[in-house]
């Protein structure tokens, strides 16, 4: 048996050429790299030949030419997002978790995403709706749309259940009878009338905003725009250091990043004209 055959013999799903992996050093520093045949990478005063990593089991340990050991892992979603190529801020995994759970994103759902950024939330939504659902993403800026598509292609794979539109959502939503809408824009309250028309009765609307003033304005407007059961929340994530007898909170924590707001679409509107339909001055 050759060395290559021995490398694969006890591994059902070995690391493959073209995959992205995390290399983790002894101080838990992480490096995202693509396994490219014939390529050499340099890390921490040493080098790796990619060919030596291809075919290894996920979770292997390998030393660089300088004798420093690295753990080789396929990245989980939470580990991938901080390393995602981007030109815009991502929604962090701790907030994505709130959006998916409180937004009740389910397999087979028809979901509209407003604002893709680099595609971090896009990939999470695609994972949740599965092949039987459909995700419609509206993105105004071409460079963001291209980055989102590139990241989905690279880190998620083929997504026939995804429709990416380069369009201004303020010009209207084409889709109707949607199960969920997720908005990541600075003024999400301006979309409330159109969101009400696009959603099914009882469907969930989710907005993500960074500031208290944005959160307050959206909540107030949602309650008079055909939505009910409005909830606003934030998620503070604190890790713990656990090593031998030393057990303590980490010195740093991921505190405020944004507010997640959820609301349910009423079956009927209480008035014939929603705030924002008659004049934009009402939302200033």
Are 61 and 185 members of one domain? no
What domain range is 139 assigned to? 79-283
Per-10-residue mean pLDDT for the chain, 284 residues long? 46 88 93 93 89 95 93 94 80 95 98 95 98 97 95 96 96 96 96 97 98 98 97 95 93 91 92 45 45
User: What pLDDT is recorded for position 10?
Assistant: 55
CA separation for the pair 251, 211 (Å, rounded): 25
Examine the domain organization and report whether 137 and 271 are in the same domain.
Answer: yes
> Which CATH number goes with the domain that contains 239?
3.40.50.150
CATH number at residue 14: 3.10.330.20
In 3D, which of 27, 34, 58 has the Cα closest to residue 48? 34
Pairing type for strands 69-73 and 40-42 reads unpaired
Do 128 and 34 reside in the same domain of the chain? no
Who contacts 258 (Cβ-Cβ below 8 Å, separation ≥6)?
Answer: 91, 95, 208, 209, 210, 234
Considering 44, 75, 106, which residue would you say is the last residue of a domain? 75
Do 182 and 57 reside in the same domain of the chain? no
Contact 204/211 with Cβ under 8 angstroms?
no
Say yes or no: 17 and 128 in one domain.
no
Final residue in a domain of this structure, among 75, 90, 107:
75
Name the pTM for this structure.
0.84
**In a shared domain, residues 7 and 54:** yes
Q: Measure the CA–CA gap between 198 and 131, rounded to whole angstroms.
A: 22
**Domain shared by 111 and 59, yes or no:** no
15 lies in the same domain as 116: no
Other CB atoms within a 10 A radius of the CB of residue 102 amount to: 15
CB atoms within 10 A of CB 78: 12
Residues 115, 136 within the same domain: yes
Domain end position, chosen among 51, 75, 99: 75
Same domain, 49 and 85: no
Could you give the CA distance from residue 15 to residue 189 in angstroms, rounded to a whole number?
Answer: 45
17 three-class SS: coil
Spatial CA neighbour of 22 closest among 91, 81, 86: 81
Are 14 and 140 contained in the same domain?
A: no
Q: Are residues 263 and 146 both part of a single domain? A: yes
Distance CA 8, CA 158 (A): 26
Number of compact structural domains in the chain: 2
Q: How many CA atoms lie within 13 A of 205 on its CB side?
A: 32
């Amino acid at each position: 048996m050759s060395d290559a055959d021995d490398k694969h013999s006890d591994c059902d799903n070995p690391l493959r050429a073209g995959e992205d992996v995390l290399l983790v050093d002894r101080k838990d520093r992480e490096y995202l790299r693509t396994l490219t045949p014939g390529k050499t990478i340099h890390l921490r005063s040493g080098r790796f030949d990619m060919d030596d990593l291809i075919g290894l089991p996920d979770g292997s340990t390998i030393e660089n030419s300088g004798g420093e050991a690295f753990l080789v892992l396929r990245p989980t979603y939470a580990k991938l997002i901080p390393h995602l190529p981007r030109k815009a801020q991502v929604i962090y995994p701790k907030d994505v978790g709130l959006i998916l759970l409180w937004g009740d994103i389910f397999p087979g759902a028809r979901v509209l995403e407003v604002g893709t950024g680099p595609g971090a939330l896009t990939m999470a939504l695609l994972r949740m709706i599965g092949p039987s659902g459909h995700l419609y993403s509206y993105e105004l800026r071409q460079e963001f749309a291209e980055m989102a598509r590139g990241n989905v292609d690279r880190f998620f794979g083929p997504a026939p259940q995804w429709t990416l539109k380069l369009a201004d959502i303020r010009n209207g939503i084409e889709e109707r009878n949607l199960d969920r809408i997720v908005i990541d824009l600075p003024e999400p309250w301006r979309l409330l009338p159109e969101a009400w028309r696009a959603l099914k009765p009882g469907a969930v609307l989710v907005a993500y905003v960074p500031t208290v003033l944005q959160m307050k304005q959206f909540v107030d407007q949602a309650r008079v725009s055909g939505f009910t059961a409005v909830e606003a929340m934030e998620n503070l994530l604190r890790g713990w250091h656990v090593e031998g007898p030393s057990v303590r909170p980490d010195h740093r924590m991921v505190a405020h990043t944004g507010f997640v707001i959820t609301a349910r679409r009423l079956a009927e509107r209480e008035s014939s004209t929603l705030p924002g339909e008659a004049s934009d001055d009402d939302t200033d």
